[in-house]
Amino acid sequence: MKLLLVGSGGREHALVWKLKQSAKVDKIFCAPGNAGIAEQAECLPVKGEDIEGLLKVAKEKKVDLTVVGPEAPLTLGIVDRFSAAGLRVFGPSQAAARIEGSKAFMKDLMKKYRIPSAAFATFDSPEKAKAYLKKVGAPIVVKADGLAAGKGVILCQTLPEAEAAIDQIMVKKEFGPAGDKVVIEEFLTGEEASFLAFTDGEAVLPLASCQDHKAIFDNDQGPNTGGMGAYSPAPVVTPQIYQQIIDQVMVPTVRAMKAEGAPYRGVLYAGLMIGKGGVKVLEFNARFGDPETQPLLFRMKSDLLPLLEASADGSLKGMKIEWHDQPAVCVVMASKGYPGSYEKGFPITGLPEANALPDTFVFHAGTALKDGKVVTAGGRVLGVTARGKDIKAAIDRTYQAVKKIRWDGAYYRTDIGRKALVRKRV
């Protein structure tokens, strides 16, 4: 089979790495890819948002299945366009991708179908939003309605912070049209976890539990990012919580999307808060998480390709996933200044030494080739991932690999996985 993978991040590199292991795969194209992906697939100079360009490539290369990594092409309708042209594609339709593309749509859906979530209100003017803030007080969460690369969620401890967040989103338009509306949400406490499941619109096949680390600094301090690291499994997701997530969140959401006339096919990602009141949904994403995909696929024993095909074709019922018992940890290495402005083009050293460690792989995200050398080309640059006999061993091995890699301004959190160690359940 020939595959086309859309995207250029660490998630896409993990997908290419895993799909390359399938006996059914003959060739993988990736558009646009990165320096690491180029070692395992043929990278094509077509951007993920160029739907017509991608369609042309898929036809010319006689691609058997297109796998869409990032959210932007999904919300632009790539699945609808490819399907209309008679091409197989993995991912939700444009209507179904609204579950990520509009937080207001997502919150209304959960309210209508009684899927547990935080109390909220939606506003299309900063004045009305600020008036509401004065009624409810702080702490509070302010969210840009549209896509903001994981950075449009602002946790506010005080009213002045919340008002500044509304100005940042709606007045200064720091996230562009994503800030035409804001969702103001109850501040939930507890421990966050990520939960992903394959679905063909009917059947729901859960993946292993996982935990992401959104904030830029240790101890979950500082502004949110696209994700600074992740590990799987997440001990906070006990067997009881796992079943609760399936029964109260994942299955009801798939049924709700079907009832709304937008059947959901692909992978559904729920960002969850687990607290004293049980499980509540913070957000839904319409695709694989990044960096959650890296440790999840590093633990997956099963061939990924049949799962993608079954989700796309509507034949997921009865399928199962086998997992390595060993936990996996991914630490994101980022550019100095991220999630704000940062410089690019710094040469990266130590990649072969890090990859030489047992049960370790360095997934590329923001990288490029320049004069034959791998250089930085983004905010999140690498996702260093390793397995170990227990969570401590996985953490130690991952950081051992991280310390072998250098470039000018490299930054990473030093506490990825610490929450699992505290729980002492793995």
Q: What are the pLDDT digits (tens) for 181-219?
A: 999 999 999 999 999 999 999 999 999 999 999 999 999
- Place 151 in a pLDDT band, splitting at 50, 70 and 90: confident
Which residues neighbour 39 within 8 Å (Cβ) at sequence distance 6 or greater?
none
Average pLDDT over residues 31-50: 98
pLDDT digits (tens, 9 = 90+) for 342-385: 999 999 999 999 999 999 999 999 999 999 999 999 999 999 99
Q: What's residue 426's pLDDT?
A: 41
Structure-token pair, residue 82? 């490819």
Domain spanning 119-186: CATH superfamily: ATP-grasp fold, A domain (3.30.1490.20)
Which residues neighbour 288 within 8 Å (Cβ) at sequence distance 6 or greater?
11, 15, 69, 196, 267, 269
Query: What CA–CA distance (Å, rounded) separates 299 from 284?
Result: 23
Which residues neighbour 59 within 8 Å (Cβ) at sequence distance 6 or greater?
85, 87
Contact 288, 227 (CB under 8 A): no
| b/e map 362-384, b = 16+ CB within 10 Å | bbbbbbbeeeeebbbbbbbbbbb
The answer on pLDDT for 277 being more than 90 is no
Which CATH number does 191-313 carry?
Answer: 3.30.470.20
Cis peptide before 339 (omega within 30 of 0): yes
- Place 424 in a pLDDT band, splitting at 50, 70 and 90: low
Amino acid identity for residue 242 in this structure: Y
Structure-token pair, residue 192? 């966050």
Could you tell me the fold of the domain covering 2-91?
A: Rossmann fold (3.40.50)
Give yes or no on whether 2-91 and 191-313 have one common fold: no
Could you tell me the fold of the domain covering 328-423?
A: Glycinamide Ribonucleotide Synthetase; Chain A, domain 4 (3.90.600)
Where are the domains positioned within the chain?
2-91, 119-186, 191-313, 328-423
Contact 207, 322 (CB under 8 A): no
Average pLDDT over residues 278-288: 95
The answer on pLDDT for 156 being more than 90 is yes
